[in-house]
Structure 1
Amino acid sequence: MARTGSSQSWASSPSVRKSMRGNRGRDTRPELAVRRAVHAMGLRYRVSARPLPDLRRTADLVFTRARVAVFVDGCFWHGCPLHHTVASANGAYWAEKLRTNRERDADTDRRLIEAGWRPVRLWEHEPVEQAARRIADEVRRGPS
């Protein structure tokens, strides 16, 4: 892996680097679909916001009054048990990246729960209407 300031990239090839730089951090297709469905149910939310101001982690949808934080997790990036694929190049780097992503997700959920929030984690492949119903059920329960 390249060091900070080095001219070398962490990517295994220029085409991989270009592809990875094109990945969005927010407003992905699955996230937009869930947002549209939840909005159509009459629910309003903040987008890509920090539920806990002191924690540098953002949720995809935040329902402040209900204290619900929604994360739409990508199958590759978060290790979906159904769809995650092992990287063919740079395997050790990606295995470590996935491990740290999972640890961070678990730590985020734990911190949110300790602060009285309810995290909702969705996989990007979940049916949109089912995901929207899960979110609506949590939001309508109100704060813990």
Structure 2
Amino acid sequence: MTEAPSDRQRRWNDQMPPDRAWKSRPGVNRASRVAEQDRAAGGRHARAVDIGDGRYARASIALRLYRSTRRIRAYLRWSQDGGTREKYVGEVDAATRAANLALAWSMAHAAGQATDEVVPPESQASSPATRAVMVANKGRDTKPELLLRSALHRKGLRYRVSVRPVRDLRRTADVVFTKARVAVFVDGCYWHGCPEHHRPATKRAEFWQEKIAGNRARDADTNASLSAQGWAVVRVWEHEDPEAAADRIRGIVGSRLGESSRTAPHRG
């Protein structure tokens, strides 16, 4: 039975809500936070805010504890026109953060603050969910790439960005260490068939299976072609922790240069 609002609002009258009801776990990376919001909303396509003219912004729910009232409040947040917008959704009082996020998304949809993204007529996507994933995967300078590059730079590594390791081979790596001959590719979980996070499409399943299989075959061919010409290939999933990935890359670069990974910065 669903609790009446009056009953639910008394839950935290005599005690402070526990951290697990609103606070995210320490050290959670961006990919995990995105996945958390997707699960709570019922899919990435359900995290849309209509900003007019057929445009949608991808929103998230922020949970905040107000200690003076012992209340957890939910806010809908999204980026628009270079700034961050925010709208109050309501109070939530479930026992876990996951449940409160789901409740807040349900409230936002019921109030018309959030909506499901509509697939434009010209889109090749078979559903709003598929289109949301496709839109989130840019060709270069994606968020995971930028985070990895920043981590590499902080560790004293210098590199080239989005270039062909071998001029005559039509394959562009995301990060290239020319002197060490190390090519780094940051692979999106959907497009490259991540075994941990990839979820096959249910509509036009055969088409998307062939698409992902083709991408994986191309990845394998790229690895083999570059290795045959003396290059070390490093693949980083978008969900990986950028600091850990940067440490792994630094070790490989240092090893191929015949230096310790703690040497002074070297140029890509």
Q: Shorter chain as normaliser: what TM range?
A: 0.7 to 0.9
User: Which residues of structure 1 form unaligned runs of 5+?
Assistant: 1-7
User: Which residues of structure 2 form unaligned runs of 5+?
Assistant: 1-121, 259-268
Report the counterpart of residue 4 of structure 1 in structure 2. none
Report the counterpart of residue 218 of structure 2 in structure 1. 104
Indicate if the aligned counterparts of 1:33 and 1:128 stay in contact, CA closer than 8 A: yes
Q: Is residue 2:193 matched to residue 1:79? A: yes
Q: Is residue 2:239 matched to residue 1:122? A: no
Residues 1-144 of structure 1 mapped to structure 2, 5 A cutoff:
10-12=124-126, 20=134, 23-142=137-256
Q: CA deviation at 1:55?
A: 1.1
Q: CA deviation at 1:90?
A: 1.7
Taking the aligned partners of 1:111 and 1:143, their CA distance within structure 2 comes to 21
Structure 2 length normalisation: TM-score? Answer: 0.48
Q: CA deviation at 1:57?
A: 1.1
Q: CA RMSD in A?
A: 2.2
Greater Cα radius of gyration, structure 1 or 2: 2
Report the counterpart of residue 23 of structure 2 in structure 1. none
Per-residue displacement from partner, 1:77-106 (whole Å, max 9, x unpaired)? 111111001112221111001100010000
Per-residue displacement from partner, 1:1-30 (whole Å, max 9, x unpaired)? xxxxxxx76432689668735631011111
3-state SS, counterpart of residue 227 of structure 2: helix
Taking the aligned partners of 1:13 and 1:85, their CA distance within structure 2 comes to 14
Q: Decide which structure has greater strand share.
A: 2
Q: CA deviation at 1:56?
A: 1.0
Q: How many matched pairs?
A: 138
% same residue: 58
Taking the aligned partners of 2:151 and 2:220, their CA distance within structure 1 comes to 26
Which fold has the larger relative contact order, with Cα–Cα distance below 8 Å and residues 6 or more apart in sequence? 1
Structure 1 length normalisation: TM-score? Answer: 0.86
